[in-house]
Structure 1
Amino acid sequence: MEHGVIEHSLIILIIMTSLGVIFGFVLAYANKKLAIEVNPLIHMVEDVLPKGQCGACGYAGCMAYAEAVVMNPDVAPNLCIPGKEPVAKAVAELTGKAAAAVEPRIAQVRCAGTHAKAAKANEYSGIQDCTAANLLFGGPKSCKYGCLGLGTCVKACPFNAMTMSEDGLPIIDPDKCTGCGKCETVCPKKVITMMPLGAPVRVNCNSHDKGAVAKKACAAACIGCTLCMKECSHGAIKMDNNLAVVDAKVCMEKCTNPTCLAKCPTKAIKQAVLGVVPGSEDIVA
């Protein structure tokens, strides 16, 4: 009886082993037969990309963009924002495409509502994340358009180009910021935007509240008074729902003396000094 059980077990083991070997050969053959050869040019393009995996190109990572720009003739070689012009030229050369000029840009925090300037509507002690705080009555600030200061953008930056200041606002490092826009996409308040490098002025506010409401919520708010717009002789400043908006291109091309800065009663519009807390530009200017 015992001998029969052992014999039966050996038969099962032999059968299972044989099946494993057969399936192994079948899978190996199928893998070889069905394997898709990757165009070596895709890897060459990927090698020149900065590997930030930021998605600024519109694709899910550097490899996806490399594959698209090599295989699709309609995909431009200058979509890698962090790589700027040198990478665009390298990709264009590898793919045989013409690369349009890449306009260098940098992140801008459109809020000067520091702890000292911005009023609070409530105390927040939950998860230290701007998106989470925003879900709770729009966050602790009275201004529902302002930076929440919990550093979600800082954590999301793939190039370590952002730090949180003691004043509760992010600081952009101009030497590290590539303008990839990752911080812009994660900000629930849409406080961060991209501006061209070389823009002479910027508006450090994101509020669309009317003057009295905006000023009560934050001492540094744009109150929509239109004085800066009226002062600008080049038409570079427009009002968008109680907020001054600067056309950086017009400003860069035509303005050599930004007299609008002196007209702003709350100093919401400032000289575009990089690498400082928004609103503190006068200290270093």
Structure 2
Amino acid sequence: MSTPILVLIVMTIVGLIFGFVLAYVNKKFAVEVNPLIHMVEDILPKGQCGACGYAGCAGYAEAVVLDADVPPNLCIPGKKPVANMVAELTGKVAPEVEPRVAQVRCAGSHSKAIRNYKYQGIEDCVAAGLLQGGPKGCQYGCLGFGTCVKNCPFGAMTMSEEGLPIVNEKKCTGCGKCETVCPKKVMHMVPIGSPVSINCNSKDKGAVARKLCDISCIGCGICAKNCPHDAVKVENNLAVVDSHICIEKCDNPTCVLKCPTGAIKAAEGVKTIVESQQEIASNNSN
């Protein structure tokens, strides 16, 4: 018998032996998967956003089924309906899930904010930020390369022609993925129904901030002084709104009217009220 044929026969026998051994080991040490894990995973939205703190929907499904300490309401995109279904399947109690939405805390568009240099490189905010903090003059502002938009698992964001992300609140699930990937921490999650938002992320002092962006917060504190509910305060030269107080008590956002730079923006639902008050104030001054 020739050597090549002998080698082929030996390799075939060795392969068959290893095959039988692997098949036996696989059967002997097979771990049964709890079918409940698949049932829970099937009802999750499959965004793989990681808002629950686990590596994808499968990771959370396994954890919530096998670990008694993992609550059934960690799927932020699924909100209350999914939390209730997971709770029913796992026999746990589902605490209330606060609906939230992404908010862009920057209005420094191409026409409003200055740029230090022209960036030519990878169209990614993280990559651009590695070069002297990015091309935008304000080192706290949105870089405008759409990393948040590209990473939104639910297609709830687009980029405007002015280089700022736009959130579609009807599509936004509040998963927080955009907040996680933004290198400048411009994206922020707020409760749904927040009457106002701070359209700025700058921590620079007023004179510096205004020099870099026409619509920046200058930390003057006028908004805080005029808020009758103490929902606004200034921290690190930047106005901060307590959305929970705002939602509960405010039906007349005076902070929007008093802000000298327009850094505080009224939500869509209260714009009409604010615009009417601004028109009345304008007529009275005339």
Q: TM-score range by the shorter chain?
A: over 0.9
5 Å matches for 1:185-200? Answer: 185-200=180-195
- 2:244 alignment partner, SS class: helix
Residue aligning to 2:119: 124
Matched, 1:260 2:239: no
Residue aligning to 1:95: 90
Which of 16, 38, 44 is matched with 1:43 structurally? 38
Residue aligning to 2:145: 150
5 Å matches for 1:5-20? Answer: 6=2, 8-20=3-15
5 Å matches for 1:154-165? Answer: 154-165=149-160
C-alpha displacement of 1:255:
1.2
C-alpha displacement of 1:132:
1.0
- 4+ residue segments displaced more than 4 Å: none
Which of 65, 71, 84 is matched with 1:70 structurally? 65
C-alpha displacement of 1:260:
1.3
C-alpha displacement of 1:259:
1.2
Mapped partners of 2:180, 2:73: distance in 1? 20
User: Which is worse superposed, 193-202 or 120-129?
Assistant: 120-129
Gaps of 5+ in 2: 279-286
Deviations 1:40-66 (A, max 9, x none): 000000000000000000000000000
Mapped partners of 1:126, 1:85: distance in 2? 42
Which of 210, 218, 225 is matched with 1:215 structurally? 210
Which of 215, 221, 232 is matched with 1:237 structurally? 232
Deviations 1:181-223 (A, max 9, x none): 1111111110001010001111000001111100010011000
| Residue-pair matches, total | 272
Residue aligning to 1:55: 50
Mapped partners of 2:15, 2:93: distance in 1? 53
Mapped partners of 2:47, 2:159: distance in 1? 21
Matched, 1:26 2:3: no
Pick closer, same or farther for the CA change 1:126–1:14 going to 2, 3 Å.
closer
C-alpha displacement of 1:273:
2.8
5 Å matches for 1:101-140? Answer: 101-140=96-135
Identical aligned pairs, as a percentage? Answer: 68
**TM-score for both structures, normalised by structure 2:** 0.92
Mapped partners of 2:209, 2:8: distance in 1? 79
User: Which is worse superposed, 138-147 or 265-274?
Assistant: 265-274
5 Å matches for 1:72-87? Answer: 72-87=67-82
Gaps of 5+ in 1: 275-280
Pick closer, same or farther for the CA change 1:119–1:11 going to 2, 3 Å.
closer
Mapped partners of 1:74, 1:120: distance in 2? 49
- 2:234 alignment partner, SS class: strand
User: Which is worse superposed, 133-142 or 10-19?
Assistant: 10-19
Residue type of the alignment partner of 1:251: C
C-alpha displacement of 1:14:
2.6
- 2:268 alignment partner, SS class: coil
Mapped partners of 2:105, 2:250: distance in 1? 21
Which of 166, 174, 183 is matched with 2:161 structurally? 166
